[in-house]
């Protein structure tokens, strides 16, 4: 009997040691996977998702090892030329999206294009989805703002619903989604930052119901996660409404990218992802495919834009996207190659803005505004070929329609927070720049 008990004890001890070794082996394997995926996130995202998604990707990958990703075809080892992500930043109540973006990663040029979609963008719920909503609740309009989509769905269906409506509204295919709530955002900023930003004006707001208190002074300063949340969420005081807010978000993102890509933070990405992993939802299960691109990503290789359009009142205030302009923007991103990307850079350097014919168009009801700005630009040495009325009035914020971004940046200081819309075909037309004056520059 003693021999039997001794035998059982030895077997039990051996089994425990074996299990312990297996657990330790799995931990090391997961850590190696985590390390790889953490690198992916520096490549893939800025601000809301730049680092967090990789940890989520690791979690999903470990959970789904041996399973087939339905979004990967037979040639799974060959990456698509363009991978498209929908990025959502949730408000604290999780019924509204505070940030909506599309992120395009070009596997050939290693370029990342981020396109913001204003939260007030008008969308029409597809008929089949609308019928489903009506069965659950009555009195819902089929035309809504894009940030309202989550309010009509259960948490597990919100991301898929948002993706489908964006795809149908903007005629674009989306591969993956990522959602991050604001608690995760503040943690990312605290670990990566502080972030240097130039706050455009004093921002003060108090809303106890949302537990939202904003108190920021204008000027260049370094901000932490809590202050960054205040900056991103502040909505009042912008002459051109949500477009001005998006421009501030873009400037913050650029500063965030520069800070994130410093060597010290690249070394700290493991801790960043571990800290904010709990705040992310994503179906990005193939992130491991992108590891090899990490060393090719730089702040200079990331472009941030907004879909073209204008704010209009149709019962309430909406952002109406320009279908033609949006398609042109997406086409330029999707069809970009390494060769024409290099050509575009050369063209931007060579353009002399003062040789371009400028059309100044008055999009307000202020008489003589186009003539006034014609004179101002001509005093600056620019060539204004015409000063006319714009047919679709009123325009809330001034729009600069230009052949490339550098032209827009040169002309922007003449106006109050103008939006810049790139239309490359203007280089081949008699009129090289179109300026549509908005109420933000009216008298």
**What is the tens place of the pLDDT at every residue in 397-426?**
899 999 888 888 889 888 888 888 888 888
- Confidence band for 41, pLDDT divided at 50, 70 and 90: very low
Q: Quote the DSSP letter at residue 69.
A: P
- In DSSP notation, 293-337 reads GGGG--GGGEEEEE--EEEEEESEEEEEE-HHHHHHHHHHHHT--
- Between the CA of residue 84 and those of 8, 41, 274, 309, 409, what are the distances in Å? 57, 14, 25, 21, 27
Q: Distance between CA 402 and CA 411 in Å, rounded?
A: 10
- Confidence band for 50, pLDDT divided at 50, 70 and 90: very low
Quote the pLDDT of residue 109. Answer: 77
Which CATH code for domain 350-441? 3.30.70
For 66-137, strand residue ranges (E) read 82-90, 97-106, 112-116, 122-124
Is residue 14 pLDDT above 70, yes or no? Answer: no
Mean pLDDT over each residue of the chain, to the nearest integer: 74
Task: Give the relative orientation of helices 2-44 and 269-276 as an angle to the nearest 10 degrees.
Answer: 100
Q: Quote the DSSP letter at residue 77.
A: T
pLDDT tens, 343-398? 444 444 467 888 899 999 999 988 899 999 999 999 888 999 999 999 888 888 89
Is residue 176 pLDDT above 60, yes or no? Answer: yes
- Supply φ then ψ for residue 139, to 5 degrees: 80, 15
- Between the CA of residue 39 and those of 188, 273, 328, 394, what are the distances in Å? 15, 10, 32, 47
Least confident of 5-9, 170-174, 218-222, 239-243: 5-9
pLDDT tens, 219-256? 999 999 889 888 877 877 776 666 677 778 778 877 88
Quote the pLDDT of residue 40. Answer: 35
Quote the pLDDT of residue 170. Answer: 93
Cβ count within 10 A of residue 343: 11
- In DSSP notation, 359-417 reads EEEE-SS-TTHHHHHHHHHHHTT-EEEEEEE-SS---SS-EEEESSHHHHHHHGGGSSS
- Distance from CA of residue 58 to its chain's centroid? 22
Angle at 133 between CA 132 and CA 134, to 5 degrees: 90
Taken in order 46, 48, 52, 58, the sign of the CA dihedral is negative
- Between 131 and 50, the higher pLDDT residue: 131
Average pLDDT estimate for 190-213: 85
Percent of the chain at pLDDT exceeding 90: 19
Taken in order 214, 219, 224, 229, the sign of the CA dihedral is positive
Least confident of 115-119, 182-186, 265-269: 265-269
pLDDT tens, 247-266? 787 788 778 877 776 656 55
pLDDT tens, 84-115? 888 887 665 556 666 788 988 887 777 888 88
Distance between terminal CA atoms of the chain? 102
Quote the pLDDT of residue 143. Answer: 92
Average pLDDT estimate for 171-180: 86
What's the length of the chain?
443
**What architecture does CATH give domain 52-336?**
3-Layer(aba) Sandwich (3.40)
Q: Which helix (DSSP H) or strand (DSSP E) does residue 207 occupy?
A: strand 203-207
Structure tokens at 280: 């992310």
Q: Distance between CA 171 and CA 181 in Å, rounded?
A: 26
- Between 244 and 145, the higher pLDDT residue: 145
Q: Distance between CA 285 and CA 60 in Å, rounded?
A: 6
Is residue 184 pLDDT above 60, yes or no? Answer: yes
What residues does each domain of the chain span? Answer: 52-336, 350-441
pLDDT tens, 282-321? 776 554 444 444 455 566 677 878 899 888 888 888 999 9
Q: Distance between CA 58 and CA 332 in Å, rounded?
A: 32
Q: Are strands 97-106 and 112-116 parallel, antiparallel or unpaired?
A: antiparallel
Quote the pLDDT of residue 53. Answer: 38
In the block, which residue shows the tokens 């003589």? 368
Quote the pLDDT of residue 140. Answer: 87
Quote the pLDDT of residue 108. Answer: 78
Angle at 257 between CA 409 and CA 193, to 5 degrees: 120
Q: Which helix (DSSP H) or strand (DSSP E) does residue 42 occupy?
A: helix 2-44
Q: Distance between CA 417 and CA 241 in Å, rounded?
A: 10
Task: Give the relative orientation of helices 182-192 and 269-276 as an angle to the nearest 10 degrees.
Answer: 160
């Amino acid at each position: 009997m003693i021999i039997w008990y001794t035998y059982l004890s030895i077997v039990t001890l051996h089994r425990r040691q074996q299990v312990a070794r297996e657990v330790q082996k799995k931990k090391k394997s997961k850590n190696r996977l985590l390390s790889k995926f953490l690198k992916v996130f520096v490549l893939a995202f800025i601000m809301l998702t730049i680092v967090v998604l990789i940890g989520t990707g690791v979690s999903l990958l470990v959970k789904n090892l041996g399973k087939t990703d339905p979004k990967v075809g037979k040639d799974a080892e060959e990456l698509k030329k363009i991978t498209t992500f929908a990025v959502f930043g949730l408000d604290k109540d999780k019924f509204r999206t505070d940030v909506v973006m599309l992120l395009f990663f070009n596997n050939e040029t290693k370029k990342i294009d981020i396109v913001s979609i204003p939260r007030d963008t008008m969308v029409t719920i597809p008929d089949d989805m609308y019928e489903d909503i009506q069965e659950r609740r009555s009195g819902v309009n089929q035309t809504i703002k894009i940030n309202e989509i989550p309010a009509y769905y259960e948490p597990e269906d919100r991301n898929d619903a948002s993706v489908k409506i964006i795809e149908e509204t903007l005629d674009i295919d989306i591969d993956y989604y990522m959602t991050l709530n604001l608690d995760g955002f503040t943690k990312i900023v605290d670990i990566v930052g502080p972030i240097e930003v130039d706050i455009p004006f004093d921002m003060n707001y108090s809303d106890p119901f949302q537990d939202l208190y904003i108190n920021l002074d204008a000027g260049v300063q370094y901000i932490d996660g809590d202050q960054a949340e205040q900056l991103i969420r502040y909505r009042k005081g912008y002459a051109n409404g949500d477009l001005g807010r998006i421009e501030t978000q873009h400037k913050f993102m650029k500063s965030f990218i520069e800070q994130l890509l410093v060597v010290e933070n690249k070394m700290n990405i493991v801790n960043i992802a571990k800290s904010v992993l709990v705040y992310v939802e994503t179906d990005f299960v193939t992130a491991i495919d992108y590891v090899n691109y990490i060393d090719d990503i730089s702040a200079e290789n990331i472009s941030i834009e907004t879909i073209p359009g204008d704010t209009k009142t149709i019962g309430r205030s909406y952002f109406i996207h320009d279908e033609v302009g949006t398609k042109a923007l997406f086409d330029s991103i999707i069809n970009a190659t390494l060769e024409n990307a290099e050509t575009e850079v050369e063209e931007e350097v060579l353009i002399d803005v003062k040789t371009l014919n400028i059309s100044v168009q008055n999009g307000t009801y202020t008489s003589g505004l186009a003539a006034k700005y014609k004179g101002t630009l001509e005093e600056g040495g620019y060539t204004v070929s015409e000063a006319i009325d714009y047919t679709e009035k009123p325009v809330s914020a001034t729009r600069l329609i230009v052949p490339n971004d550098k032209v827009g940046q040169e002309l922007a200081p003449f106006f109050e927070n103008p939006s810049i819309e790139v239309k490359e075909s203007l280089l081949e037309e008699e009129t090289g720049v179109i300026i549509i004056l908005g109420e933000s520059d009216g008298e």
